[in-house]
Amino acid sequence: MPSDLLPDSLDQPPPPEGPGLFGEEPAPAAAAPAPAAAEAPATPYRVLARKYRPQTFADLIGQEALVRTLRNAFAQNRVAHAFMLTGVRGVGKTTTARIIARALNCVGPDGNGGPTADPCGVCPECQAILADRHPDVLELDAASNNGVDNIRELREAVRYRPARARFKVYILDEVHMLSTAAFNALLKTLEEPPPQVKFLFATTEIRKVPTTILSRCQRFDLRRVPQEQLRAHFARIAEAEAVPASEEALAMVARAADGSVRDGLSLLDQAIAQAAGSPEGVQANLVRDMLGLADRGLLFDLLEATFQGDIAAVLAAMDRGHERGADPGVVLADLLDLTHTLTRLRAVPALRQDPALPEAERVRGVALAEKLSVPVLGRAWQVLLKGISEVAEAPDRRAAAEMVLIRLAHLADMPTPGDLVKRLTEGGASLAQPGMAQPGLAPGGGGSRAMAGGGAVMAAEPAPAAPPQPRNFREVVALASGRAPMLHAHLLHHTHLVGFAPGRIELRQTENAPRDLAAQLSRLLQEQTGSRWTISLSNAPGEPTIAEQRSHVASERLEMAKAHPLVQSILLAFPGAQVEALRDDSLDEYGLPPIPEAPDDGPDFAPPDAEPADLDDFDPSDST
């Protein structure tokens, strides 16, 4: 093909890519002008979480204690060889590790600087670390490099000096994912690393890291960033991005971030994308729709209608939330959060002056908190907390959420258990019956207490330990408790007492008892009391077993408790409640009344130091 017919793109050789052989920039090809329609390649978009990632300690927000400690450590040349950074996701653990790596290896703009808490960001070391291509700063994911072979390779690598930097830095993210063998392989190296090696660990599950590892690291707990700081940070970023954003919208994003800067920036990124083309920018209604939140005013309407017992208003408010796209589970979670806020305002009135309190909580929240008591708010908390799990498991989330709110509205006009007991006691209910202690009152002290509710069982408190010389058969059985468990069980369930005297016991044992029970009991008593006891077997019926006596006493006292006027009043006030068990502090550890001690009639014989009487002086007529 003739050269004059070649297309312009093939008429000249293509320009070289990258720098020339000696590092100079390639000269542009004069005969190959760019086509008129050609455009510069678009710069790939960087998400806000990466674009505004902190580059220095000064950029970190909400971690003042961490920054202060690290600055002092660099100033005094007391930088540890291993750091453990822990905290929830998105608070800056890996970012802090990268800043520490740059601070350790920065050489300054002139190339003569040393470790500093303020890396320059322009030297070759800082630039290479920022670009994640420094050969001596290795960032590993412990989740995918969690085997002992990976740690052995790391141990071999730390033996060599850094290729170009001052320190060789290993950043292990999610270090809790390492296996037990890998942790053990790391111990020795972590305790005595070469002087040019630093370890930076990051984890969200500090409890899964062995204490042997933690004891060899300097630990920093990165805390959640407060909502007010997050809101101010997001406002600065929105201004830098030239995107209008309302205070309420940013507050919603900050609240949804739950202390995580990265999560909040991801939400802000999404909100900015949704607001593209809108002159108002990021507004509250847009964020509310994006997060599936209910309007704050709607939440107050729901809660006020619920506490007033107005079920029709509750369902109408839920319908409005459904029309706006609010998720039922999120609605209950928001109501739970609002209930917590109201409880704080009620319990600590000084919090009402907190400048960080949103306007809705300051006005409607304070007014609502004044009308409700802490027990009522606590009951609402329990119902909503249980309801959230019910909604998560229900096939129809909306129906489940409505059922939870209907249940809460039904409870609104019912007194709390404490109020009910107070009303009943102040109303003059009879609180005493012959042979029965007062149930349901203040804890502590003796007496019976009936437990009304779903299956609450209160065990009898243990009685004091029996003395070494048992005074009755029940104390003999108690000696076996903890020392001979099988013997103790047989004495409780398979042994009938026929007769008891100090040093002598007569028993009738059932067929389920072992044949050598008498011998076992005799040995135990001799070991514990230091004296010999005679254990004889009898065919006489004897007493019921201790287990049978306990069952009879428990049944009898439970019936007495159910018949008590105060308990009957409680059962009427709370339909469906049942008395499941009775606690009586006057009973011993076997659930039986204590055995009364035999009366002391005085000594049968004269004391050893008594003087003998003179029988010659005895006059029978003087006897009285």
Q: Is the dihedral of CA 460, 462, 464, 465 positive or negative?
A: positive
40, pLDDT greater than 60: no
List where CATH 3.40.50.300 sits in the chain: 48-221
Tell me the mean pLDDT in the region 394-408.
92
376, pLDDT greater than 80: yes
Tell me the mean pLDDT in the region 507-530.
87
Between 623 and 49, where is the model more confident? 49
Question: On the CB side of 20, how many CA atoms lie within 13 Å of its CA?
Answer: 7
pLDDT confidence of residue 294: 65
pLDDT confidence of residue 487: 87
Helices (H), 87-246: 93-105, 124-130, 148-157, 180-191, 211-214, 227-240
Please choose, from the candidates 67, 68, 43, the residue with its C-alpha nearest in 3D space to the C-alpha of residue 57.
Answer: 67
| pLDDT bucket at 528, cuts 50 / 70 / 90 | confident
Share of the chain above pLDDT 90, in %: 29
pLDDT confidence of residue 457: 35
Query: If you compute the radius of gyration of the chain from its CA atoms, what whole number of angstroms results?
Result: 40
List where CATH 1.10.8.60 sits in the chain: 227-291
| pLDDT bucket at 69, cuts 50 / 70 / 90 | very high
8, pLDDT greater than 60: no
Give the largest CA-CA distance in the chain: 169
pLDDT tens, residue by residue, 515-524: 888 888 888 8
- Residue 461, CA distances (Å) to 464, 489, 590 in order: 10, 19, 10
> Using CA atoms, how far apart are residues 222 and 92, in angstroms rounded to an integer?
8
pLDDT confidence of residue 296: 76
601, pLDDT greater than 60: no
Q: What is the CATH number of domain 296-414?
A: 1.20.272.10
Instruction: Indicate the class that CATH gives domain 436-594.
Output: alpha beta
pLDDT confidence of residue 94: 92
pLDDT tens, residue by residue, 267-322: 999 999 988 878 888 998 888 888 776 667 888 889 999 998 889 999 999 998 88
List where CATH 3.30.300 sits in the chain: 436-594
Tell me the mean pLDDT in the region 597-619.
51
Mean pLDDT of the chain: 79
98, pLDDT greater than 90: yes
Tell me the mean pLDDT in the region 502-506.
88
Domain 48-221 in CATH 3.20.20.70? The answer is no
Residue 34 DSSP SS3: coil
Question: Distance from first CA to last CA of the chain, Å, rounded?
Answer: 160
pLDDT confidence of residue 598: 60
74, pLDDT greater than 80: yes
- The Cβ of residue 51 has, within 10 Å, a number of other Cβ atoms equal to 13
Pairing of strands 218-221, 82-86: parallel
Q: What is the CATH number of domain 227-291?
A: 1.10.8.60
| pLDDT bucket at 84, cuts 50 / 70 / 90 | very high
pLDDT tens, residue by residue, 217-243: 999 999 999 988 999 999 999 999 999
| pLDDT bucket at 426, cuts 50 / 70 / 90 | low
pLDDT confidence of residue 355: 67
List where CATH 1.20.272.10 sits in the chain: 296-414
pLDDT confidence of residue 20: 40
Please choose, from the candidates 175, 166, 109, 120, the residue with its C-alpha nearest in 3D space to the C-alpha of residue 145.
Answer: 175
Task: Please tell me the least confidently modeled range out of 124-128, 363-367, 480-484, 594-598.
Answer: 594-598
Report the predicted TM-score, pTM, of the whole model to 2 decimal places. Answer: 0.55
